[in-house]
Amino acid sequence: MDGTIRLADYRAYPFTIDHVALTFRLSPGATRVKSLLHMAPTAPNADLHLDGEELSLISLAINDSPLNKKEYSVTPTGLTIAASAVPTTAFTLSCEVEIAPNANTALEGLYMSNGMYCTQCEAEGFRKITYYPDRPDVMARFHVRIEGDLPVLLSNGNPAGKGEGWAEWDDPWPKPAYLFALVAGDLVATSGCFTTRSGRNVDLNIYVRPGDEDRCDFALESLKLSMQWDETAYGREYDLDLFNIVAVDDFNMGAMENKGLNIFNSKLVLASPETATDTDYMRIEAVIGHEYFHNWTGNRITCRDWFQLCLKEGLTVFRDQSFTRDVRLGPVKRIEDAATLRARQFREDQGPLAHPPRPDHYREINNFYTVTVYEKGAELVGMLKRLAGDDGYKTALDLYFDRHDGQACTIEDWLKVFEDTTGRNLDQFKLWYTSAGTPRLDVTEEWDGDTLTLTFTQSTAPTPGDPTKAPRHIPIQIGLLAPDGTEVVPTTLLEMTEATQSFHFPGLSERPTASILRDFSAPVMLARDLSTADLAFLLAHDTDGFNRWDAGHSLAKTTLIAMTTGADPSDDFLTAIGGLLADDSLDPTFLAHCLSLPSDDELAQAIFASGKTPDPDAIYVARADLARKIAQTHQTRLEQLYDATEVKGPYSPDAHSAGQRDLRRACLGLLSHIDAGHRAQALFDSASNMTDSLAALTTLIRHGRGAHALEQFRERWKDNRLVMDKWFMVQVGACPPKDAIATAQALAEDPLFDWKNPNRFRSLIGGLVANHAGFHAANGDGYAFLADWLIRLDPMNPQTAARMSTSFETWRRYDATRQAHIRDELTRISQTRGLSRDLSEMTQRLLG
């Protein structure tokens, strides 16, 4: 037994729990948890197993009769009551345990952050609170009593009474234990109200530590916007009298959708113009939306087991992406989502951590909250929507909510809804869920004077444990453009199901240029031999926003890759950029995206995909050279744009103002290569909001001119944890690569480097990894630094250590020396005594 959990081994739990009463007597070092479970057997003669870890058992009884020690056994992972001691009809199970929240550094279960009690139960944290069947297919109603001397005592559901030193909560909706939450602390609320379309008044509260309450307004407005959007876009209403959000400083991830009591990393709640950037505001809105949308896609309908995680996460990401598109970004949102998917999920799919959106085995489920489960999971929903059409999608989702409300479901249930509403057979489509890897889609074109024939060939490289790949069902959106740029065939959906397939477009008077994979209609790697002239044509004329941007992006990539081997920047590219800069009709955010060069990591990925070995230093130099060349070639226009995009008046995070700042920042980045940093310095000195201030600081650091600004910034913000996270990240993330390791080492010694705080840890370590050429220093110092810190963090906080270990996932791209360094570091980690299950699974998979 190596501890591997397999989908094929799934068995239903042989008991139901109708309702649960929990009583917490809070104390930092010795919290007592009493539970009363109203259970009934559903299968004869079954042992009763409850999960439980790090618990001291005080008492255990069935129907109020204490169990004798021969009737049950306790192991480090749970408690089993022999079938012979379990009644054959409904019964109660009562249990009392003691736990120590103040000793919980893993931030999973019940733990403490700055004197406040809080919980994180997904995926398997509830078992650190009490003995319970901690699996998502066991759903029960919870009643919770909290006793403690803190002013605010919160749990899920509706309030059910409170007095001096106690509060009770009742959640009428059956839920799995992973959605349980408890918060107790000295907190202040920013409150509001939302009336649902059926007239239910819902009280809304954002709870934060005293002193932070002036930074909650945006979060509250985002919550109202999310509630409104889910009613309009999906017909989903909220279902309790209260919706609480609590901000916590020590949190392993972004946020958690606990029923009626969302718990958030404070960086995704707190925002003021002086402390948060446009990106922070946008993330806050999106994540508040995401967690709120889980109320239906995740909570009312949950997952049968953790293999089905993408059922709730893929769908909820798809929903939050649609929300941001609708309320903020419009079509540009698709560019951002597709770019993220290609940069991060394709990278995962091409490396040793590749896994299907629905994996079929794992050792530690926390290691599978990945970009494949989330973002690729969302793409699969998007493809189903394309195949079903907008109306078909709506019908399917209505049936999903009707049919499965209150259930714990599988991907099969989800696909069946689409099969039943569209009449399609989705057996082949299901491969997207069950098989890893990114299909490569090759295209060839034939023109016979009247008909254009597009021939597609799909192939998927083998992934770990999954060598043979059957053809997938791929929705391919295309359009055809005449030589003068007019569209002769508007967007059309082709459905590819074979390994090779041709599509004919007859009756054309001139050979058109094809725009393929419009709107990034499927998560595939399009391999197409386009000349720089073709790309420039598409960049100038494509009516599809994604493909238009992508043509420019491909042009930039081709240019940069050639430059890494000594070529000069292509004139086609520089001319195309000139064309964009001259076009006043472009959306500023779109133009900003076009002016942002592909990242170092993306270039390394592309070079590796072409069968060559990326050189991090050459990539860094090429990027800086091209940016300088663009600035020299288009200096006047960039300067004009920089001046014209200054946003006057008080800061507002709205999409229009943020778009102006995006564009201005892009211009600043380019001009900084030729203006000796004077614009960045002037902007830093005059900035009245964090977006400008951080943009200026980043630019100064990039050119080795940031020392003074960094000091000023620290002096001003040293008491603000979230802003200081930025201070840590930017100086190591943006500094010239040759300085990266020394900077990281110095920062690790800084008294403000509180490495036990996940945000601070991620700022420094994530900052270093983001400095591509710095992290991949040929002498291996970056790798050793990362490995040292993972080994140090692991006993404290395995989840965050394991998550950060993914920084090694690209190791097979690089040359033999670098690979040897990384292999040594991964081996060193894997041989560390007492390594957590989380990090040991990761190092094993990384080593392949």
Active site residues: 291
Question: Which entry of ligand B3K, Zn ion, none binds 321, CB below 5 to 8 A by partner kind?
Answer: none
Q: Cβ of residue 87: shortest distance to ligand B3K, in angstroms?
A: 35
Is 290 near ligand B3K (CB under 6 A)?
yes
Task: Choose among 549, 544, 559, 538: nearest CA to 606.
Answer: 559
Q: Using alpha carbons, select from 647, 658, 577 the residue that is nearest to residue 330.
A: 658
According to CB under 6 A, which one of 137, 291, 542, 601 is a site residue for ligand B3K? 291
- For the CB of residue 302, give the shortest distance to ligand B3K in the complex, in Å: 11
What DSSP line would sit under 304-349, residue for residue? SSGGGHHHHHHHHHHHHHHHHIIIIITTHHHHHHHHHIIIIIHHHH
Q: How many beta carbons lie within 10 A of that of residue 369, not counting itself?
A: 17
- DSSP state, 7? G
Residues 427-446 that bind ligand B3K (CB under 6 A): none
SS (H, E, C) 532-576: HHHHHHHHHHCCCHHHHHHHHHHHHHHHHHHHHCCCCCCHHHHHH
User: Tokens in use for 835?
Assistant: 């390594």
Residue 253 binding result from Zn ion, ligand B3K, none, given CB thresholds of 5 to 8 Å by partner type: ligand B3K
- Considering beta carbons, is residue 290 or 404 the nearer one to ligand B3K? 290
**Residue 609 engages ligand B3K in binding (rule: CB under 6 A):** no
Which residues, in sequence order, are bridge partners of residue 195? Answer: 201
Selected range binding Zn ion among 89-97, 131-139, 305-313, 359-367, rule: CB under 5 A: 305-313
- By CB under 5 A, the count of residues binding Zn ion is 2
SS3 for 483-514 is CCCCEEEEEEEEEECCCEEEEEECCCCCCCEE
Q: How far apart are CA 42 and CA 13, in angstroms?
A: 8
Residue 247 binding ligand B3K, by CB under 6 A: no
Q: CB-wise, 258 or 458, nearer to Zn ion?
A: 258
- Taking residues 296 to 335 in sequence order and writing x for each that binds ligand B3K by CB under 6 A, - otherwise, the string is -----------------x----------------------
Alpha helices in 374-410 (DSSP H): 377-404
Q: Answer whether 238's CB lies under 8 Å from 200's CB.
A: yes
# of chain residues touching ligand B3K (CB under 6 A): 12
Among 13, 166, 369, 503, binds ligand B3K (CB under 6 A): 369
Q: Kindly write out the interface string for residues 800-819 of this chain, putting x where it contacts ligand B3K by CB under 6 A and - elsewhere.
A: --------------------
Binding site partner of 366, from Zn ion, ligand B3K, none, Cβ cut-off 5-8 A by kind: ligand B3K
Which range of residues in 232-240, 308-316, 619-627, 650-658 is near Zn ion by CB under 5 A? Answer: 308-316
Q: Which residues contact 423 (CB under 8 A, 6 or more apart)?
A: none
Answer for the pair 287, 313: CB distance below 8 angstroms, yes or no: no
Of 516, 525, 572, nearest in space to 544 by CA: 516
Give the nearest distance from C-beta 779 to ligand B3K in angstroms. 34
CA-based end-to-end distance of the chain: 19
Letters for 119-148 (x = contact with ligand B3K by CB under 6 A, - = none) are ---xx-------------------------
Of these partners, Zn ion, ligand B3K, none, which one is at the site of residue 550 (CB under 5 to 8 Å by kind)? none
Instruction: Tell me: does residue 263 bind ligand B3K (CB under 6 A).
Output: no
Least distance (Å) from ligand B3K to the CB of residue 120?
A: 7
Exactly one of 46, 160, 253, 778 binds ligand B3K (CB under 6 A); that residue is 253
Binding part of the chain for Zn ion, among 131-139, 315-323, 468-476, 615-623 by CB under 5 A, reads 315-323
8 A C-beta contact, residue 139 and residue 406: yes
Two tokens, residue 745: 């080492």
121: left (phi over 0), alpha (psi -120 to 50) or beta: alpha
Strands 242-248 and 158-163: unpaired
For residue 808, the minimal CB distance to ligand B3K (Å) is 20
* Residues at the interface with ligand B3K (CB under 6 A): 122-123, 253, 255-257, 290-291, 294, 313, 366, 369
* Residues at the interface with Zn ion (CB under 5 A): 313, 316
